[in-house]
Amino acid sequence: MKYISTRGQAPVLDFADVLLAGLAEDGGLYVPETLPHFSAATIASWAELPYNELAFKIIQPFVAGCIADVDLQRMIDETYTGFNHIGVAPMVQLGSNEWVLELFHGPTLAFKDFALQLLGRLMDHVLAQRGERLVIMGATSGDTGSAAIEGCRHSQHLDIFIMHPYNRVSEVQRRQMTTILADNVYNIALEGNFDDCQEMVKDSFADQAFLGGLKLGAVNSINWARIMAQIVYYFSSALSVGAPHREVSFSVPTGNFGDIFAGYLAKQMGLPVRQLVVATNRNDILHRVISGNDMSKGQLEHTLSPSMDIMVSSNFERLLFDVYGRDGAAIADLMQRFKKEAVHLEPQRWEAVRALFDSYAVDDATTCDVIRQVHAETGYLLDPHTAIGVKAARECRRDSKVPMITLATAHPVKFPEPVVKAGLQSPQLPAHLSDLFEREERYSVLPNRIAEVQAFMAERVKH
């Protein structure tokens, strides 16, 4: 499998190089040159497979030639046996044909564990084979950070620097990152917002001289391997409600557009998906572009669903690449303009986006109402991100006979504030985190200036 950049100017790479490269040299994102396609008969034959075996079927074509099958299966097995639920990604029924796909049974209680537990192992494996080291630089609005640290902390080949927006993540999220005191883990609280953190990561990839010869790697969903691993649970959940013999729809709480892009790929790969609903909070650029062709940043706001406080949704570029006929020059131009100003897609490209996605934006008050309402209806407690997904699913659903699956992207224990605002009691932390509030924290508050962040990193990396 070969990978190409969305901006058309970077070298074509194989999986192992894409895994370590993160962002492409031309500032674009890597995507597979061609996608594997599975027939309905093949998909149907997977109905009884446990999650790890299904994951192997779906991931193997993307890594073939770079990772031996036996190593891939071992890493997948280790990843998902570490999850705290026998089904790995269980489904819960809320109503008639209305489902929630629980993606929070990994070690850090968010969907990011699905990809980052595997990505840490894949990186370690390739780096060990090559005898190389990598410096990870990541941006987080709360969940990627802890999942990446958890996935990479045991690696002998990685230093990991994670930036979160200072005072803009929940206390549980912050402590999950800052209480890991391993000597290859560094937490930076940046005096800015998530978009500032993410821009700093991308700018650092463009010029890595500050690392004195070491190379940067990515754990954010700009790294193709993140998206790849997230495709699997679209298949597992759809199979459990009758696909490929019937269509299914998904509603996805969305920020960086990685998770829903994995759903779009599942559809291209043969899964019969009727609707893909983009669910956003007040930081609604994706809803505005899908519903009104308005791709303008606006002011990033702090909400009760902080992990989705994102305006510059990295993976939307991967979708635009397809919608613009894989024209790298057109995407490079569009993304350069978007850095400086509002952009509007060409009308036929926008129509193509609208044909693929529905969208809905939810404010904080409604988020709390949905948490309260669903709890009253069913006894089930939603986290605020999932509540946004459920609301968007209910608003956008076109056919009540098609199962609608909302991705439950985090456990509610990570976000007590909206749960309490909804008049409910926040659940207890699970046993492995029960002393989280007593653990020592370690992080550095840094100004929103790239030179200071890079100097901080340069002083600490191990050569």
Ligand X SMILES: N[C@@H](CCOP(=O)(O)O)C(=O)O
**Can you state the percent helix, strand and coil of the chain, rounding each to 5?**
45, 15, 40
Decide which of ligand X, ligand PLP, none touches 253; Cβ closer than 5 to 8 Å per partner kind.
ligand PLP
Q: How far is the CB of 201 from ligand PLP (least distance, A)?
A: 14
Among 124, 150, 159, 259, binds ligand PLP (CB under 6 A): 259
332 versus 408: smaller Cβ distance to ligand PLP: 408
Q: How far is the CB of 314 from ligand X (least distance, A)?
A: 6
Crossing angle of helices 51-63 and 232-240, rounded to 10°: 140
User: Per-residue contact track with ligand PLP, 203 to 242, x per CB under 6 A?
Assistant: ------------------x---------------------
Among 308, 330, 390, 424, binds ligand PLP (CB under 6 A): 308
Q: Using alpha carbons, select from 307, 286, 315, 276 the residue that is nearest to residue 405.
A: 276
Return all residues near 448 (Cβ < 8 A) that are at least 6 apart: 190, 191, 192, 196, 200
Q: Measured on CA atoms in the order 182, 112, 3, 330, is the torsion positive or negative? A: negative
Told to check if 410 binds ligand PLP by CB under 6 A, we report: yes
Question: To which H or E segment does residue 307 belong?
Answer: none
Q: Of 82-90, 208-216, 249-257, 267-275, which part binds ligand PLP (CB under 6 A)?
A: 249-257
Q: Of 42-50, 68-76, 87-95, 255-263, which part binds ligand PLP (CB under 6 A)?
A: 255-263
Decide which of ligand PLP, ligand X, none touches 254; Cβ closer than 5 to 8 Å per partner kind.
ligand PLP
How many Cβ atoms are within 10 Å of 355's Cβ, its own excluded? 8
Residue 382 CA to its chain's centroid (Å) = 19
Cα dist. 131→67, 158, 259 in Å? 16, 12, 32
Decide which of ligand PLP, ligand X, none touches 283; Cβ closer than 5 to 8 Å per partner kind.
none
Q: How far is the CB of 317 from ligand PLP (least distance, A)?
A: 13
Contact 182, 160 (CB under 8 A): no
Q: Of 55-63, 195-203, 252-260, 264-272, which part binds ligand PLP (CB under 6 A)?
A: 252-260
Q: Of 77-85, 253-261, 264-272, 372-380, which part binds ligand PLP (CB under 6 A)?
A: 253-261
Q: How far is the CB of 283 from ligand PLP (least distance, A)?
A: 11
Site for ligand PLP in 109-148 (CB under 6 A): 110, 143
270 versus 389: smaller Cβ distance to ligand PLP: 389
Q: Which residues bind ligand X (CB under 6 A)?
A: 140-145, 220-221, 255-256, 258, 307, 314
Q: Can you list the alpha helix ranges (DSSP code H) found in 131-193?
A: 143-152, 171-178
Contact 436, 179 (CB under 8 A): yes
C-alpha angle with apex 333: 331 to 336, nearest 5 degrees?
A: 105
